[in-house]
Structure 1
Amino acid sequence: MPVIHSQDYNVLIDENPSILVSFIEQLKPSKIFVIVDENTKLLCLPILEKYLKTPFSSIQIVSGEKFKNLKTCTLMWDALMKNKCDRKSLIINLGGGVIGDMGGFVASTYMRGVTFIQMPTTLLSQVDASVGGKLGIDFLGIKNMIGLFQNPKLVWIETQFLKTLPYRELKSGFAEVIKHGLIRSESLWQSVKQSFPKIEDSDWKALVQTSVNIKNDIVKEDPLEKGLRKILNFGHTIGHAVESHFLDSPNHLLHGEAIAIGMICEAYISYKEGLLDGPALKEIRTFIDGFYNIDLKLLPIKNEILELILKDKKNTGDQINFSLLNKIGDCIYDKNISTLRIEESLTYFDNK
């Protein structure tokens, strides 16, 4: 597979492991630390162990978005200190979006910055979270409220890791692929629709590469999210609020499931704002509803959702900013939307 050149690092997909080994050897790290959770320790670390020729220490955290917080960061910083991690050490984040976001944040803030490599193991993290340098943690129930932009030294993607995922996790990750099609590539959107319902039979190498290229092209043009990069937030304003609300509940939603809800609602807002046409809205809703089949009502929790949206980091003062669809494959950003319109979209979602 070709190398994808990003800002000051490369993204390598299913390359020969000898390239990874050589890259690490050239870094000449004083020590290597691998961040894992209970799942990647069992299923993915043995694969990485076959590649690495130098000793390393692993630091294990508990999986799940609810643990992406300062408490877990403190445990990680403490482990790094106790194991004498220094500024010439290397940290490898072996896991999904939580490990990539938080592991990168911990590496970037420890001793004012330690070199790190992102090694995403879920579809969600391979096509989205590992690329672009966004790092951070949740704070006081608000997603990604504390964080920074810092690029990794390398992103190493192995699609064989996707074989370790439950089907629900694959579906969750597919939401970001859907989003990339809706905001930037009608051809990807059509390809995604053809993958339904047997996504496990997808050509993962091609799908990941296409999705990474879309995000990478956007990020290279706008690294710090001052303009164009904001279109990557389509589906995430309402989606993040829904995800945050259910974070500690028995009805816990995976990130992609919440973003699927957000995309339906925000496609409706796009339609009501005179941007997206009716047939396109119906096409989007029919596909996402059929794919995710989420049995959930939003109106009973509309006040909680609106409260979370009002704290969204993308807002400007009292203005609630959305990224909305002009049409399938084209998206605008910084569209100010009223709370009344948001409530309408929740009603639309509930009326299946």
Structure 2
Amino acid sequence: MQNKINITFGKSAFSKLPKKFSEKKYSRVFILVDNNTNKFCLSDFISITGFDKAEILIMEAGEENKHLQTCENLWKNLSNKGADRNSVLINLGGGVVTDLGGFVACTFKRGIDFYNIPTTLLAMVDASVGGKTGIDLGSLKNQIGVIEEPKQVIIDPMWLETLPKNEIRSGFAEMLKHGIISSKKYWQTLKELTDLRVSTLKEFIKPSVKIKKEVVLKDPREKNLRKILNFGHTLGHAIESYFLINLNKNKLLHGEAIVIGMILESYLSIHCAGLNIEVAKDIKTTFLKSFKKIEFSSDDKKEIVKLLKHDKKNIGDKINFVLISSIGKPKIDVQVPEDLFEDAFNFYLSD
């Protein structure tokens, strides 16, 4: 992957796409949407861009559809509709669409160009930025994929008006994470927000994208620095996977699971990275103002801990965590004694 990220903000970038595509001499234009963006976003996107002759590919919405069967269906669709190596794929949607769509593009005929148009707050500040494409392996998050930058990411907050409140909160969780790992000032600003409406949060999209972009440019392949973006994700991904496969549980959005992971890993940071306990309590209080507490049984906790062995940051049989010594000071590749996991859940669940 080239060390280059092309991110553009604002609606005017959409109207420039036809000229750009003409200059690149793309043979066919394909647009990937899910049920939601097909209903709420596609007609506006076509109206702005004039891509009324583009072929539309539709996938089922949701993390549970981010798997190989969906990819196979899309590859067959592309092939049946005459896609060649000079075709282009536009991914119009949230993180599942941009992750899976990017992977489909990277692997179809050994790679066609793709563009990401993120339509959720989470995708704008996280999923569509940094070139990570991929799918889940069963319930295990993002086990299959490649790192490849889209030709362009176009971010416009207008799409956020179509989202329910829980999706907005899910994206806000990743923005708070950016503050925790990189900037005490940014964390302080975000944690004091009481109005989580789009009109308020859209002002913080660029700062969050800038934080992630600067990290990715320094370490595009996640060999070192980029690992800090995984704070909260080791336990958070295990929790998200567990709730996805357990039929007795309500599915958690990515941001909802990562919030729990960040609270748990803040507790682990007290014991393994020297974090002040009052800072960990402040992190917990901040998140629980916007996210309701989820209950965990003893069996739940055991199954979640078992899933940790599949985390992508692991080396050999060692489970590697990203922890923090203070706000803005992360530590990577930290091993955590297993007996602390129960204490971390107790910290999260306590009043």
TM-score normalised by the chain length of structure 1: 0.95
Secondary structure in 2 aligned to 1:226? coil
Amino acid at match of 1:252: K
| 1:329 and 2:325 aligned | no
Which of 230, 235, 239 lines up with 1:238 in the alignment?
235
Q: 1:190 to 1:109 in 2, by over 3 A?
A: same
Kindly indicate whether the alpha-carbon contact (under 8 Å) linking 2:15 and 2:49 is maintained by their aligned counterparts in 1: no
User: How many percent identity over aligned positions?
Assistant: 42
- 2:156 match: 158
| 1:52 and 2:49 aligned | yes
Kindly indicate whether the alpha-carbon contact (under 8 Å) linking 2:268 and 2:340 is maintained by their aligned counterparts in 1: yes
- 1:226 match: 223
CA distance in 1, matches of 2:22, 2:183: 38
Deviates more, 1:219-228 or 1:247-256: 247-256
- 1:293 match: 292
Amino acid at match of 2:276: D
Shift of 1:274: 4.5
- 1:303 match: 302
- 1:103 match: 101
Shift of 1:19: 2.8
Kindly indicate whether the alpha-carbon contact (under 8 Å) linking 1:107 and 1:115 is maintained by their aligned counterparts in 2: yes
Counterparts of 1:198-209 in structure 2, within 5 Å, are 198-209=195-206
Q: 1:125 to 1:9 in 2, by over 3 A?
A: same
| 1:347 and 2:343 aligned | no
CA distance in 2, matches of 1:92, 1:120: 10
- 1:3 match: none
- 1:10 match: 6
Shift of 1:201: 5.0
Deviates more, 1:341-350 or 1:277-286: 341-350
Cα deviation, 1:74-132, whole Å, max 9, x if unaligned, reads 11111001101111111000000000000000000000001000110000000000010
CA distance in 1, matches of 2:126, 2:3: 15
| 1:212 and 2:209 aligned | yes
Shift of 1:348: 1.6
- 1:139 match: 137
Amino acid at match of 2:55: S
Shift of 1:293: 1.5
Secondary structure in 2 aligned to 1:315? coil
Q: 1:9 to 1:22 in 2, by over 3 A?
A: farther
Secondary structure in 1 aligned to 2:90? strand
Q: 1:202 to 1:334 in 2, by over 3 A?
A: farther
Amino acid at match of 1:152: P
CA distance in 2, matches of 1:86, 1:187: 48
Shift of 1:306: 1.1
Kindly indicate whether the alpha-carbon contact (under 8 Å) linking 1:320 and 1:338 is maintained by their aligned counterparts in 2: no
Kindly indicate whether the alpha-carbon contact (under 8 Å) linking 1:21 and 1:51 is maintained by their aligned counterparts in 2: no
CA distance in 1, matches of 2:142, 2:273: 31
Kindly indicate whether the alpha-carbon contact (under 8 Å) linking 1:319 and 1:336 is maintained by their aligned counterparts in 2: yes
CA distance in 2, matches of 1:19, 1:283: 45
Kindly indicate whether the alpha-carbon contact (under 8 Å) linking 1:36 and 1:99 is maintained by their aligned counterparts in 2: yes
Q: 1:348 to 1:50 in 2, by over 3 A?
A: same
Q: 1:331 to 1:139 in 2, by over 3 A?
A: same
CA distance in 2, matches of 1:234, 1:8: 24
Cα deviation, 1:269-316, whole Å, max 9, x if unaligned, reads 001224211221111011111210223225431221111001112111
Shift of 1:191: 1.6
CA RMSD of aligned residues (A): 1.4
Cα deviation, 1:41-95, whole Å, max 9, x if unaligned, reads 1111111111223420110000000110001111111100110111111100000
| 1:172 and 2:185 aligned | no
- 2:90 match: 92
Shift of 1:22: 2.9
Kindly indicate whether the alpha-carbon contact (under 8 Å) linking 1:181 and 1:189 is maintained by their aligned counterparts in 2: yes
Kindly indicate whether the alpha-carbon contact (under 8 Å) linking 1:298 and 1:350 is maintained by their aligned counterparts in 2: no
CA distance in 2, matches of 1:35, 1:201: 25
Counterparts of 1:123-134 in structure 2, within 5 Å, are 123-134=121-132
**Structure 1 unmatched runs, 5+:** 1-5
Which of 73, 77, 83 lines up with 2:81 in the alignment?
83
Kindly indicate whether the alpha-carbon contact (under 8 Å) linking 1:298 and 1:349 is maintained by their aligned counterparts in 2: no
TM-score normalised by the chain length of structure 2: 0.95
CA distance in 1, matches of 2:274, 2:56: 49
CA distance in 2, matches of 1:202, 1:321: 38
Cα deviation, 1:215-239, whole Å, max 9, x if unaligned, reads 0000000000000000000000000
Amino acid at match of 1:261: I
CA distance in 1, matches of 2:219, 2:208: 17
CA distance in 2, matches of 1:161, 1:298: 38
CA distance in 1, matches of 2:198, 2:304: 36
CA distance in 2, matches of 1:225, 1:232: 9
